[in-house]
Amino acid sequence: MRLRYRHRTTASLTLAAAVLTASLSGCTAPQSSQTGEPTPTETVTVTASPSPAALVIPDCEQLVPIESVRQVERWSEVILIQTMEGTALAGNLPGPLARDAASRAQQNRGCLLGVPQSDSAVGVYTLDIDVPTRDNLIDALRADGGFTESEIDGAPSFAIATDEGLGGTTVSYTFVGDAWLILRGSLIDPETAAHVAAPAVAELRAANPGLDER
């Protein structure tokens, strides 16, 4: 009797274990109730470089003050004859690089000054050129033995006398930032060109803050 009871108990445990195993095998493991937060995507902000401000060229009356110009000897009767704009204004300049730079200028404004009832005149041209063009032109002018270099209020300036016209012509180039100031005519020599260019350089700087850093 005792052996028969032990056999029955063992069989019952085996059957219960089998039923439990079958029940567990049919169950799906519970899903985690926690939902992972999405990993934030890093946003890369690209800041575009600001475009350089366009050169502001004052009107001729402001750029070349007549009262200041008339202080130059032989210029006491000078008046503003004409204001002009266009890429051809500064054509036929001394030096091939100068002519090429003038033809590609972004802006070109000319102020024609002269003495009434005479052949005496001078053109004051302001051109907007890019920095590489300016630097190449300055290097070429320094390498050219025909130009005399000086400074006008810290701005590099170059002058040359030519045989153009009846009494000859003087041409001066002055650079301040991306502004290229050209004086050309029979009324000037390098000294008087510097006198006329000085107020024009000051007016360009006043109209374009930070011009020298361009």
pLDDT (0 to 100) of residue 50: 52
Top-ranked range on mean pLDDT: pick from 55-69, 93-107, 159-173: 55-69
* pTM attached to this predicted model: 0.74
Residue bearing the bigger pLDDT, 24 or 170: 170
> Does residue 57 sit in helix, strand or coil?
coil
**pLDDT tens digits along 38-77:** 555 655 555 544 556 789 999 999 999 999 889 887 788 9
Residue 29 has pLDDT above 80, yes or no: no
- Cα-based distances in Å from 33 to 29, 108, 200: 12, 74, 78
* Residue ranges of domains in the chain, CATH in brackets: 65-213 (3.40.1000.70)
CA 153 to each of CA 42, 54, 164, 197, 200: distance values in angstroms, whole numbers, following the listed order: 51, 23, 28, 10, 11
191 φ/ψ angles, rounded to the nearest 5 degrees: -70, -45
Q: Residue 110 above 60 pLDDT?
A: yes
